[in-house]
Amino acid sequence: MNAATSTQYPTCICTFKPPPAPSAAERERIVALLRSSQPVPQSTHLEILAQIDDAQKEVANYDTHIANLEGLVRQATAERDKLSAHIELCRGVVDSPIRQLPAEILGQIFELCVLTQEHGKDMLSGINSFTIAMERLAKPSLFSLSLVCLRWRDVTWSTSSLWNQLVVHADILSWKYASLALLERVLARGCGQPLDFQASCRGQIEPQGHIIRALMRHSHRWRRVALHVTEHTALPLLERALNRLDALEVLDLDIGSLNASEKLSAPIRAFSAAFHLKKLSFSGHIGNLPILPPSQWRQLTFLSCRVNLNSADLADYATELLASPLNQLPENASVVFKFCYDPLRGNWELPIAQNIPPSNPTTILRVHSFTLWMWASARGTIDDHLPTRSILSCLSLPQLTSLTVRIPPHDHRNPPTANWNHAAFCALAERSGWATSLTTLKITAVMSDRELSEALAHLHSLEYLLVDTSNTHFPALFTTTVLQRLTVPDRSVDADSQILIPRLTHLSIGGDLWIIERVLSDFVESRIQYLNAQEPPLVFTLELFPPKDARENSQFHARLFLRFTEWIERKQLRFTVRATNYYY
């Protein structure tokens, strides 16, 4: 510390001289007077009074001196704290790990802390104003980092990987020139890095054109892209300009509103140069799906389709769609099909029967994981077996190992109308050979417990079964009858042919349980004994997903835990009760 900031202490503290203390002889004389019964002489009395007055004055001087010392201690303590804080500031300059890191490492830390918050989320949802749209585009979290210090500002501004994720809602931003200027700056800062963005361009083409063109100038950087477009907005520009897609790996293409989408006047060829595309998600008309040349379907590892269907669509496009793209997929590819059925746009029965007879289904050889979602549009309900039968009758999946089927009822009838076609599913399982290939089944549909039992009889190799009726309007599927059929008889421990799905190791049940507690306990015990006899022994897993409003089930679950305690402690059983089903 220099002289200008040194502490000045009061001179009175340095000049204070404490008075001499009473001598030992004087103290002994006073003690003797206390012990004596004789009256104190007048002269001695006056002398002692004088000593008291003098001593009180000295005590007052001591009090003043002590107060001065305490003030000095407080002042010195404050000065010490300031000096300690200054030392920490100085150490922060020379010893802080974050300051010793190279700019490249610091930029990677920023990327992990900031960009992972948005990864995998639909950032276009919730944008309903220009302010929110600009905030998503402007990346306020990065601007906050840049305000910490000059070095962080330089690192944030110069690290291009921090600026390679964009959310562009052109429908809202297109009317403001400031949005284009901001977009250009963000694109320039991320130059040289793969570009990930979500963009919605559904409005008029003229006001949105400058934003779309700005993105297309960087098409060689596109890596993970979600595009929401229509035939009359961004799609024509994409068709003319996209000829460099060297880095594109993931594409989520939504063409028009799902319920209003129509077949395009010409095939989509904008993405024919995406030679490294691995994952494709598509929403729109089923006839628009073949957006890649046939040879490029072999490079996909994941395909998700969300399409609007009526009977004419399926009759015209399903055979070509299922025969061409899906059979070009590589081994172990995963496929998700989501069909929206609009019953007011066509009749299912007649065109399906004429154009796609069940006796001649399309065989898909390469797909190992298949997900089928079907739901009704707001104008109707899947209230009969025809849509389900039509889809299932089109297919043959001989190499399938994992199947997910979700056909929830759109209406809220109690009980809801059945929407499951048992005969079509059993026929599909039979011709696909699922008795030896299918190991995982996840199903949501309105069916009877008898149909569930008979369907499981066709799946001899099943190991993982999830049946979800957690919607309170679903009838319970896992009844006492189903569990009794799944229970391993004592005499059949070594006879797999007599056991319904003998390889079952994981059972998940969502919804109400119309089950006798003893029957469930007997089922679990039989499965544990059967799996324990295998070589090596296997662990059985039981998961329950009760409805949210089924509070009366809590006592039932508590009793189950008590029944299962011994098996759980022996690590022969995994038993959980969850509030929601996270598998979908």
At 482-505, the pLDDT tens digits run 888 999 987 555 556 678 899 999
Residue 68 pLDDT greater than 80, yes or no: yes
Q: Average pLDDT for residues 391-409, to the nearest whole number?
A: 82
pLDDT band at 356 (very low <50, low <70, confident <90, very high): very low
- Who has greater pLDDT, 515 or 487? 487
Residue 312 pLDDT: 52
Residue 17 pLDDT: 75
pLDDT band at 416 (very low <50, low <70, confident <90, very high): low
Residue 544 pLDDT greater than 70, yes or no: yes
Q: Which of 489, 504, 569, 508 is nearest to 538 (CA)?
A: 504
How would you label 48-85 residue by residue, b for 16+ Cβ within 10 Å and e otherwise?
eeeeeeeeeeeeeeeeeeeeeeeeeeeeeeeeeeeeee
pLDDT band at 79 (very low <50, low <70, confident <90, very high): very high
DSSP 3-state of 331:
coil
Residue 349 pLDDT: 32
Find which of 375-389, 399-413, 521-535 is predicted with most confidence, using mean pLDDT: 521-535
Residue 451 pLDDT greater than 50, yes or no: yes
Residue 81 pLDDT greater than 90, yes or no: yes
- Who has greater pLDDT, 460 or 367? 460
Copy the structure tokens of residue 116.
């992972």
Q: Average pLDDT for residues 334-349, to the nearest whole number?
A: 57
- Who has greater pLDDT, 430 or 446? 430
- Who has greater pLDDT, 312 or 202? 202
Domains of the chain: which residue ranges?
Answer: 3-95, 102-248
| Alpha carbon distances (Å) from 109 to 93, 151, 194, 528 | 19, 14, 18, 48
What is the Cα–Cα distance from 526 to 489, expressed in whole angstroms?
Answer: 7
**From its phi and psi, is residue 508 left (phi > 0), alpha (psi between -120 and 50) or beta?**
beta
How would you label 222-232 residue by residue, b for 16+ Cβ within 10 Å and e otherwise?
bbbbbbbbbbe
| Alpha carbon distances (Å) from 528 to 82, 456, 483, 504, 506 | 69, 20, 14, 10, 11
Residue 354 pLDDT greater than 50, yes or no: no
Q: Average pLDDT for residues 54-74, to the nearest whole number?
A: 89
The sign of the dihedral angle between the CA atoms of 237, 239, 244, 248 is positive
Residue 509 pLDDT greater than 80, yes or no: yes
Lowest-pLDDT choice from 111-115, 519-523, 561-565: 111-115
What mean pLDDT value characterizes the chain?
Answer: 74
Element (H, E) at 85: helix 42-95
pLDDT band at 545 (very low <50, low <70, confident <90, very high): confident
Residue 547 pLDDT greater than 50, yes or no: yes
pLDDT band at 549 (very low <50, low <70, confident <90, very high): low
Residue 272 pLDDT: 76
Residue 553 pLDDT greater than 60, yes or no: yes
Contact 530, 488 (CB under 8 A): yes
Q: Provide the whole-model pTM.
A: 0.65
Tens-place pLDDT, residues 153-208: 888 777 777 777 777 766 555 555 566 777 777 788 777 788 888 777 766 556 56
In angstroms and rounded to an integer, the radius of gyration of the C-alpha atoms of the chain is: 40
